[in-house]
């Protein structure tokens, strides 16, 4: 079991971006003080090494599993066959790694390489035929696009549309939408015309028809007082309706309004 100390912690520097901390503690056996600090440079990559700076000496009591009939765990050594390569010391770990690599090669890498090779053979077996198909398809698509462009230009020139306007492609969906829009506009126009006719009928003032031709003649104004027909369309329509009403009442009478 170790001894727990209350330490004075402070930052004394950096090793690249890793801070270096110093710990100053008082010994529990005497009145002396000792100081230790982290050493990220020497303890890379685990960053768990401490260096005694003053007041004490470091005592190493590392347990070596090899001396007790075991194998070092998570310890890598430099291989003599390949310079710079590392290999695990534990033979079981080496065997497991080799088995995993073989399984990965057999189940993943080999099928992938075979599929890539088959695809490459499919597209590179007859490049002339493939190129001919591609160029033929390109010409067909280009002809259709040019024909559509000429039709669009004709419509733009006919209706005075700007050249930058993009027309919608004609298909069943757009044709159905256009038909529905036309029917809706037609109904709105019919409703608007009906409202105008009703409004015009309300403005027209009708007079009761005369019972005889004498009454009609007596109601006729003198020739000197006759005025030319009104220029207003509503007045003209009113005069025509009065004339037709008089004819229906007494067809043998002369015209009431000229």
**Cα–Cα distance list, 72 to 61, 81, 88, 96, 206 (Å):** 16, 21, 9, 16, 120
Chain segment 82-102, per-residue pLDDT in tens: 555 555 456 777 777 788 888
* Tokens read off for 92: 């079981």
Contact (CB, 8 A) for 244 and 207:
no
- 210 close to 204: Cβ distance less than 8 angstroms: no
User: Distances in Å between the alpha carbon of 214 and those of 211, 225, 243, 245, 251?
Assistant: 9, 19, 16, 16, 13
Question: ∠ CA 53-57-62 to the nearest 5 degrees?
Answer: 115
Q: pLDDT digits over 13-49, tens only?
A: 998 888 999 999 998 888 899 999 998 887 655 557 7
Average pLDDT for 202-227: 51
Tell me the pLDDT tens digit for each residue of 63-84: 777 777 666 555 455 444 555 5
Quick one: CA dihedral 87, 89, 94, 95, positive or negative? positive
pLDDT at 24: 94
pLDDT band per the 50, 70, 90 thresholds, residue 210: very low
Q: Where are the domains of the chain?
A: 8-54, 169-201, 204-249
| Paired residues of 19 in beta bridges | 14
> Count of CB atoms within 10 A of residue 40's CB?
19
* CA 91-93-99 angle, 5° bins: 100
For CA atoms 127, 130, 134, 137, give the dihedral sign: positive
Averaged pLDDT, 176-181: 88
The structure's pTM equals 0.27
Identify the pLDDT of residue 64. Answer: 73
**Quick check: 205 pLDDT over 70?**
no
Instruction: DSSP letter for 165, please.
Output: P
Q: Does residue 55 have a pLDDT over 50?
A: yes
pLDDT score, position 252: 55
What are the percentages of helix, strand and coil residues in the chain, rounded to 5? 50, 15, 35
Confidence class of residue 111 from pLDDT cuts 50, 70 and 90? very high
């Amino acid at each position: 079991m170790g001894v727990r100390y209350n330490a004075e912690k402070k930052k004394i520097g950096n090793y690249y971006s890793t801070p270096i901390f110093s710990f100053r503690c008082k010994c529990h056996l005497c009145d002396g003080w000792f100081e230790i600090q982290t050493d990220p440079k020497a303890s890379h990559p685990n960053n768990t090494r401490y260096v005694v700076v003053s007041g004490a000496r470091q005592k190493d009591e590392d347990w070596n599993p090899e001396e007790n009939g075991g194998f070092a765990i998570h310890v890598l050594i430099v291989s003599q066959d390949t310079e710079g390569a590392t290999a695990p010391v534990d033979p079981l770990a080496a065997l497991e790694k080799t088995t995993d690599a073989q399984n990965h090669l057999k189940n993943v890498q080999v099928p992938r390489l075979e599929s890539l090779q088959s695809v490459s053979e499919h597209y590179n077996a007859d490049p002339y035929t493939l190129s001919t198909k591609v160029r033929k398809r390109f010409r067909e698509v280009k002809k259709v696009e040019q024909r559509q462009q000429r039709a669009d230009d004709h419509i733009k020139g006919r209706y005075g549309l700007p050249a930058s306007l993009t027309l919608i492609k004609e298909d069943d969906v757009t044709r159905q939408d256009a038909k529905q829009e036309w029917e809706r506009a037609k109904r709105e126009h019919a409703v608007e015309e009906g409202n105008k006719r009703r409004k015009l009928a309300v403005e027209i003032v009708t007079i009761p028809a005369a019972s005889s031709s004498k009454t009609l003649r007596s109601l006729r104004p003198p020739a000197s007082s006759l005025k030319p027909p009104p220029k207003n369309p509503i007045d003209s329509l009113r005069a025509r309706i009065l004339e037709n009403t008089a004819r229906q009442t007494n067809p043998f009478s002369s015209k009431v309004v000229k």
